[in-house]
Copies of this chain bind each other. A is one copy, B any other.
Amino acid sequence: MTTANLIRPTRHGNAGICRGCWDQMHVPIPIRGVLALPFRAFGITRSKMNPNICTICERSFRTVKKQRHVTVDATILFADIRGFTALSERIDPVSLSEIVSVFQDRCAQAIWAHDGIVNKQMGDGLMAIFNFPIVSKDHAAAAVEAALDLQRLCKAALDDLRSMTGGPQGQAPGVGVGIHTGDVEIGEFSSFRSDFTAIGGAVNLAARLESRAAAGEILVSAETAARVPHLMDGAGERLLALKGFEQPVQVRVLAGT
């Protein structure tokens, strides 16, 4: 049985109209039910970034925003499988691909449940955006809650696959997460791809935090933590020297499980 058959994502409601187009333009684009059928005939379907947005939001940024890019206060989440390189030397390609599939699917499930979008998948890693195109007032909280869910779901699923990594003695792979909130530039940044993405220092900080998270950890920047004090109970503190940042960066550390 493939991973695809094992996954039944619990989504944050199944929206009848695209939540991205509604939040960005106040235009109702049907994405489910009979009304969605004529749109489907024109190639407008649910986006792979989030099943509650449509391919108009995904691929027609300039039409939606009437600009090439916009500055948005957003929360960026990076996640990846820790020790994947070492793991890939140890186990067979089929097991490796099962692990990646389980990781990608469980992460998406958690991110979608909190109205985030899976903007990029990069093998054993991904990048999610909260607050675009689905507007979310509490996007910092949404991202942190998604990270906690993601760690819980991945741990359960990857523990189930533990036997693949070397039998009962083998350690199940774990996931590292980095989260930061700030102004990012969202738009299309090449002339030949039409899907939008986010760039800027805030995006890179989230990526750097993720690269320093141990298996099971969620590293939360001070900017994100300040917006969600209620989620920081029991969180540790850590001071990190990060490439590209002149000053050491203070972060909060949540253990995901």
Contacts and interface: CB of A to CB of B under 8 A. Distances in A.
Interface stretch (A24-32, A80-88, A141-149, A224-232): A80-88
A147 B23 CA distance: 42
Contacts of A205: 85
Interface SS of A by simple majority: mixed
A199 B105 contact: no
Contacts of A185: 93, 96-97
A60 interface: no
A52 interface: no
Number of copies: 2
B85 A97 contact: no
A4 B105 contact: no
Given A71-B93, A93-B185, A84 B190 contact: no
A85 B123 contact: no
A7 interface: yes
**What 8 pairs across the A-B complex have the smallest Cβ distances?**
A85-B244, A4-B191, A104-B190, A88-B201, A85-B204, A100-B189, A123-B199, A93-B185
